[in-house]
Structure 1
Amino acid sequence: MRRVDGPDPVSIRIHEKLVGLTPNAPECCIFRVHTLLRNVNQKAYDPQLLSIGPYHRGKDGLRLMEDHKLRYLQLLLQRRNETSVETYIKAMRELEGRARRCYAEPISLTTDEFVEMMLLDGCFIIELFRKFEMLDLIDERDPILQFGWMFYSLKRDLLLFENQIPFFVLTKLFKMTKVPNQEGNLIDLAVLFFQVSLLPFGHHISASSHESFIDIEHLLALLYKSFTPPSVGIEDNTEEKLNSIPSATELQEAGVKLKKLQSGSFFDLKFNNGVLEIPFLNIDDGSESIFRNLIAYEQYGRNNDVKYVTDYVSFMDDLTNSPKDVELIRRQGIIENWLSDDEAVSTMFNKLGENVMVSNDYYAQIFRDVKKHCRERKNVWIANLRHKYFNSPWALISFLAIGFVMKSCRKQSTKN
């Protein structure tokens, strides 16, 4: 046994670590996605063209856009008849400490590097929003707006959980560069920018009067709050809690009819008289990335009492167990599939829920009602009857003929 004279060196070392430990900042809202979630599909969280914030800054393949950030800043200054960025740099220096605390991990950038990043990233985003809204700002030689694939990739990159800067930085720069009587507010510009040709549920985005727009953390949070319902409390129900629902084909066999919901929130499900109404969903190559990053935001969010996207994806995971399920839903007009085949949609939803905490609180009552309906033997019997005898004209004729013969036999036996 080692004899220690004086304070134990291990005790000293731990004490020094405790003294140097920084507390978790309440402003912290931008995280790196944890390994278990990231490993399911790493590409879904990595930018393709554009780095915003410090986590992906300087990576290979993303440096081309750094020149475009400088060009956008130059055009902004020219439009405002300014020759110096001194005023903007001063404003960013005042926000540096607060902005750093928004990131969950220590940032190795120096003060000057961090301030420069905020200015270039922030002005680029704001100018991109303005160009999309105000046609007179568009430069015909701008490749970002010329090439559809590039514009789409930038939209996608701006909604990555790890690829964010604090929204208050954008707000400050927007106010400093705003042209009076020529544009709306930043929230409206951002929502309009993202809802066109990107989101699988774009037509459900609400106006900026939504009360949850207070204290927006970043652009991904803004998008999330623009299409989710106002925060509601979930009733503490003592009834059986269900975490799953039968697949589409199983529901059909139990007499449940699937139908496209004609109006309402993207997260609305309605079940009445054996009919389950589901909102329309457009699935393309970018849908998985959008869903994964929205789920990541919910998983890390402190104030996300109801995990709308996570619960919805869990529901779709149950509903689309196989390509046959997807085909059934697609034929009902609930899904428009732009992927290679129905199996690709089924695989996407089946993997989206891996390593994700799911509650299904939002759909608990719907699940209970559906399960109750499926338990009733009469509904199963009617469903089997329809499946066997009413799927074709010849089956229906045979069924009616059998019924006619049986009725005639009963009449004859009565006479005898």
Structure 2
Amino acid sequence: MRGKEIGTQATTTASYEKNDERILDGVDKYGARSQSETCMCRVHEQLRKVNKKAYLPEVAAIGPYHSRNKGSLKWMEKQKFRYLYLLLQSSPITLNEYVAAISDRIPMLFESYDDPAMDKGRLVEMVVLDGCFIVQLVRKFSMPELREENDPIFKMYWVLSSLQRDLMLFENQIPFQVLCELFDLIEIPNQYDMLIYLVFKFFSNLFPGQVYGQRINEISSSAPRINHLLELVHQMWLTPVGTLPSQSPSPPPPPRPIRRRRLFYSATDLQENGVRFRRMEKAGSQLNIKFKNGVLWIPPLTVEERTESFLRNLMAFEQYYPTNHNLVTAYVKFLDFLIDSPGDVEVLTKYGVIDNWLGDSRQVHRMFKKINSFITIHSTAYHPFAHLYDQLNDHCSRSVGGKIARMRRSLFRGSLALVCLTALLTLLLSVLVVTTTQTVYTARK
């Protein structure tokens, strides 16, 4: 009996030791890693399930998160190898030199992804292939003389359009430092303003709103601190000139109470309250929305097939890097407040605020109703539209036109209720008469 107890105890001890080994293995893998080191994250499941397709590549997998040898992604892998082959044919730099340049950054590269079990050698090969492809793609886009005569990527516009979309996916990124290293070998060293300009040109028709080239010089000085292309595009599009987070902007204004951080009126409501809409050309930033003398000036926004994916991935980026003040999230939320029905889309389209390439106002309405699901903004975060919301809410609360409109709606609802009640009573009376008649007729028979 004593021997059996000792055997059981030994087995239990061995089991604990194995558990300890697994725990220590996890500590070794994950314990020293911080979120700040991991700049290429995966989208969390709650956000993904609202619209899975918005986060999945259509033609090109970049980095290690998406399988590249299946379905529609296999064809682009062949194009990547073709681009690399042509690059090696036209350049004195060997493949080993490209690999060596990236291998020097293995610690940074390894810490950039949320998967410590990845094979480091395979990861280096992957980002060299992807990085050379991206650098050559943006170069060929702006310099047609570098293209092959029958380059299928530039012969089929839908492929180029899907590539622009796919390179903006949150899970489809490689470190921007890798692109800089490869660009140094392919072009002129340390000319990051040129790389950023080529990226700007490549994505120019993907931006759903206005973008201004004067931001390139400001961004290029902070190129080594940019995590990936998605962050670069975020800075190009919505971050106002002179306020890049990496350049220590002046502190934001004190936060307003959370109850003030919403607009209580849709576009139709605002119009009823005497607000006029105007399209703001050359706004300087998509965030430059002004309300003055009863006129709401808004920079135009193009809504097409790629717009939802573009906005969702920028918002996903902001969920993991809140230091950028959630500018895209706040902007999209503002549009969500304005668009409460397809009729609101039609109002904004009429005045040129929305350029609806989808054609159907209901599609645009549905997009904005779902796009903020599982998206959060902390109550103490800087909100770029807090003052604008105050202005519009105060204007509508004092608007005589709005009060008259609300009174009309009240009277209409009251009149409608009276009509419905009258119709119901008439129907009941008719049923009663028919029933009584039938009863009398039956009794006489």
> 1:113: how far off?
1.5
**1:3-402 matches, cutoff 5 A:** 13=19, 17-18=23-24, 20-21=26-27, 22=30, 23-25=32-34, 26-61=36-71, 62-81=73-92, 84-108=94-118, 110-178=119-187, 185-195=194-204, 197-204=205-212, 206-211=214-219, 213-214=222-223, 215-227=225-237, 228-229=239-240, 230=243, 231=245, 233-237=251-255, 241-245=259-263, 246-264=265-283, 265-304=285-324, 306-358=325-377, 361-380=383-402
| Residues 213 and 225, structure 1, Cα contact 8 Å, conserved in 2 | no
- Residues of 2 paired with 1:60 and 1:332: CA distance? 45
How far residue 52 of structure 1 moved from its aligned partner, in angstroms, is: 0.5
Task: Give me the whole-angstrom Cα distance separating, in 2, the residues matched to 1:371 and 1:181.
Answer: 50
Aligned-partner Cα distance in 2 for 1:352–1:283: 13
How far the C-alpha of 1:333 sits from its partner, in A, is 0.9
Q: How many Å separate the matches in 1 of 2:177 and 2:189?
A: 20
Q: Is the 8 A contact 2:276 2:294 kept in 1?
A: yes
Determine if contact 1:201/1:282 at 8 Å carries over to the other structure.
Answer: yes
Contact 1:54/1:107 (<8 A) preserved: no
Q: Please state how far the C-alpha of 1:24 moved relative to its aligned partner.
A: 2.5
Cα distance in 1, alignment partners of residues 81 and 52 from structure 2? 29
Q: Secondary structure at the match of 1:210?
A: helix
**1:16-46 deviations in Å (ceiling 9; x for gaps):** 5156422223321111101111111100100
Contact 1:206 1:226 in 2 (8 A): no
- Measured after TM superposition, the shift of residue 90 of structure 1 is 1.4
Percent identity between the two aligned chains: 38
Write the deviation string for residues 183-233 of structure 1: whole angstroms up to 9, x where unpaired: 9621111111111x2221143464312258441000011100112222453
Q: TM-score, normalised by structure 1?
A: 0.84
Q: Which moved more, 1:280-289 or 1:244-253?
A: 244-253
Contact kept, 8 Å, 1:249 with 1:328, in 2: the verdict is yes
Q: Unaligned regions of 5+ residues in structure 2, if any?
A: 410-445
**Misfit runs of 4+, over 6 Å:** 2-8, 180-184, 382-385
Deviation at 1:116, TM superposition (A): 1.1
What secondary structure does 1:328 align onto? Answer: helix
Q: 1:206 to 1:297 in 2, by over 3 A?
A: farther
Report the AA paired with residue 281 of structure 1: L
Greater C-alpha radius of gyration: 2
CA distance in 2, matches of 1:65, 1:240: 47
Gap change, CA 1:206 and 1:220, over 3 Å in 2? farther
Whole-Å separation in 2 of the counterparts to 1:182 and 1:357: 38
Q: Tell me, yes or no, if the aligned pair for 2:272 and 2:401 is still in contact at 8 Å.
A: no
Question: Contact conserved, 1:204 with 1:266, CA < 8 A, in 2?
Answer: no
CA contact (8 A) 1:282 1:337 kept: yes
CA 56–253 in structure 1, closer or farther in 2 if over 3 Å, else same: same
Cα distance in 2 for partners of 1:274, 1:181 equals 49
Aligned AA (1:170): L
TM-score by length of 2: 0.79
Q: Please state how far the C-alpha of 1:358 moved relative to its aligned partner.
A: 3.0
Cα distance in 2 for residues equivalent to 1:50 and 1:127: 15
Aligned residues: 382
1:8 and 1:85 mapped to 2: Cα distance? 49
Over 3 Å counting, the alpha-carbon distance change for 1:330 and 1:340 in structure 2 is closer
1-structure distance, mates of 2:200, 2:37: 23
Q: Which amino acid in structure 1 is aligned with residue 347 of structure 2? A: L
Report the Cα distance in structure 1 between the residues aligned to 2:258 and 2:130, rounded to whole angstroms: 49
Q: Is the 8 A contact 1:188 1:207 kept in 2?
A: no
Whose helix fraction is larger, Structure 1's or Structure 2's? Answer: 2
Render the CA deviation track for 1:365-385: whole Å, top value 9, x for unaligned.
Answer: 110111111111435358789
Structure 2 contact 59–76 (Cα < 8 Å) conserved: yes
SS of 2:121's partner is helix
Query: 2:110, 2:120 within 8 Å by CA — same for their partners in 1?
Result: no
8 Å Cα contact 2:138-2:198 kept in structure 1:
yes
Q: Distance in 2 between matches of 1:270 and 1:281?
A: 15
**TM-fit CA distance, 1:144:** 0.3
